[in-house]
Chain A
Amino acid sequence: MDQLSRLTAEQRANLVAYLDGELGESETSEIESVLAHSAVARNDVEHLARTYDLLDLLPRAKASEDFTERTMATVRMSDVRPDITQSEWYRRARRGSVLLLWTLVMAAASSVSFLVTRKFVHNDADVFVRDFEVIDRLDVYREVDSVEFLEVLSGPKGAVLDDIRTRRGRETVD
């Protein structure tokens, strides 16, 4: 290989893995052979290694002093189940339930009272409703003045005329 020849994309990708000791045996010997023959590859690998060393400059942060304590307290808190009876929504729900219960009780009591009253207590108005048709025509019925005529009225069609003719005929004879 030419001392200055460029590396293939795969060889370049393998350079990093080579530095990290992540290549298999055959790939390692291939890269070592490339490195032995190419100054460009040696330069690349050296730059990659030095770049990687620069990452040592990155800050290695430390936890603040009370971090462990705070974390343990948070964890303990997560274990404690909150008392739901103390929460606002629970109090509201409870108040709502009581109100709903009372409403249902009142509605049930009203229904029962209505049914009982309807069944056992007689009302004068019921009589009026039942006999409304008679009451409505009471004046006419009073004018009739004869039970027989009423019977004729309730009889078959044309019976009224026959009855009137019979009466008139009887009056003429007399």
Chain B
Amino acid sequence: MLRVKEGDEAAFAKLVTTYQDRLISIFRNLVGDQEAAEDLTQDLFLRIYRARHGYEPNAKLSTWVFRIAANLASNSRRSKGRRKEVQLKSSESGPLGVRPAEKLLADKSSLMPSRQFDRQEMQKLVREALESLNERQRMALLLHKFEGMSYADIGEAMELSPQAVKSLLSRARESLRTRLENMIR
């Protein structure tokens, strides 16, 4: 990053290739689609590039990058909220959404202990469980799982104390455990 600060374009390209997949993975699991994730990642790199002159190596580069990512994700969610966009799933595209009986059937089906989950279905359930968490829990969980970041680093990236991260992750994992109970029996 210090080379980037001095205007080394090749160093910046290296930084992009090092972080692009990691960031897109996180954004993809936060916002739900690849295109939006790539747009956010590109926006993030642009911010890093514009802020390069003011960069001070006080924290780990990855922590700094993921701090920007956390802010960006939060801003993106807020602006999305302002636009009040409602994205319906294909199964909810009817004028009245999912009928209660259908929902009951689906819920019952997923509760059957003998049910065999194929990988795709499991993926879907895990994704839905993740989506049920609030944004901060999701971000903390993804940083921990995907990036292997310590509570202290997550705290630095999300501007929280390690104790707050501990509590955030504990609640997130308890919540996931409840939602995914049928899959882990």
- Contacts from A to B (Cβ < 8 Å): 12-17, 20, 22, 47-48, 50-52, 54-55, 57-64, 67-68, 70-72, 74-76, 78
Chain B residues with CB below 8 A from A68, complex form: 13, 16-17, 20
Assembly CA distance A10 to B25 (angstroms): 32
Is B55's CB within 8 Å of the partner chain A?
Answer: no
Assembly CA distance A162 to B24 (angstroms): 119
- Report, as a range, how many residues of chain B touch the other chain: 35 or more
CB-nearest residue of chain A to B183: A54
Contact B21 A58 (CB under 8 A): no
Contact A57 B119 (CB under 8 A): yes
Contact A74 B177 (CB under 8 A): no
- Over the window 98-133 of chain B, the binary record of Cβ atoms lying under 8 Å from chain A Cβ atoms (1 yes, 0 no) is 000000000000000000000100110011001000
Distance (Å) between the CB of A17 and the closest chain B CB? 5
Q: B interface, by DSSP: helix, strand, loop or mixed?
A: helix
Chain B residues with CB below 8 A from A67, complex form: 20, 24, 38, 41-42
Chain A residues with CB below 8 A from B150, complex form: 22
- Over the window 14-51 of chain B, the binary record of Cβ atoms lying under 8 Å from chain A Cβ atoms (1 yes, 0 no) is 00110011001100110000100110011001100110
Assembly CA distance A52 to B175 (angstroms): 11
Distance (Å) between the CB of B144 and the closest chain A CB? 7
CB-nearest residue of chain A to B169: A16
Chain A residues with CB below 8 A from B16, complex form: 68, 71-72
Distance (Å) between the CB of A133 and the closest chain B CB? 79
Determine which of A55, A62, A72 lies in contact with B145 in the assembled complex, contact meaning CB atoms within 8 Å.
A55
Distance (Å) between the CB of B153 and the closest chain A CB? 11
Contact B151 A57 (CB under 8 A): no
Chain B residues with CB below 8 A from A78, complex form: 46, 49-50
Chain A residues with CB below 8 A from B12, complex form: 72, 75
Is B174's CB within 8 Å of the partner chain A?
Answer: yes
- Over the window 149-183 of chain B, the binary record of Cβ atoms lying under 8 Å from chain A Cβ atoms (1 yes, 0 no) is 01100000000001000110110011011001101
Given known contacts A12-B174, A16-B170, A72-B13, A61 and B123 CB-to-CB distance under 8 angstroms: no
Distance (Å) between the CB of B34 and the closest chain A CB? 6
Contact B24 A47 (CB under 8 A): no
Is B88's CB within 8 Å of the partner chain A?
Answer: no
CB-nearest residue of chain B to A78: B46
Contact A64 B38 (CB under 8 A): yes
CB-nearest residue of chain A to B146: A60
Contact A17 B49 (CB under 8 A): no
CB-nearest residue of chain B to A55: B145
Contact A55 B126 (CB under 8 A): yes
Assembly CA distance A14 to B170 (angstroms): 8
Contact A47 B38 (CB under 8 A): no
Chain B residues with CB below 8 A from A62, complex form: 21, 24
Chain B residues with CB below 8 A from A61, complex form: 21, 24-25, 28, 34, 37
Distance (Å) between the CB of B32 and the closest chain A CB? 10
CB-nearest residue of chain A to B35: A64
Chain A residues with CB below 8 A from B130, complex form: 55, 58
Chain A residues with CB below 8 A from B139, complex form: none
CB-nearest residue of chain B to A54: B126
Distance (Å) between the CB of A60 and the closest chain B CB? 5
Chain B residues with CB below 8 A from A76, complex form: 9
Assembly CA distance A54 to B150 (angstroms): 20
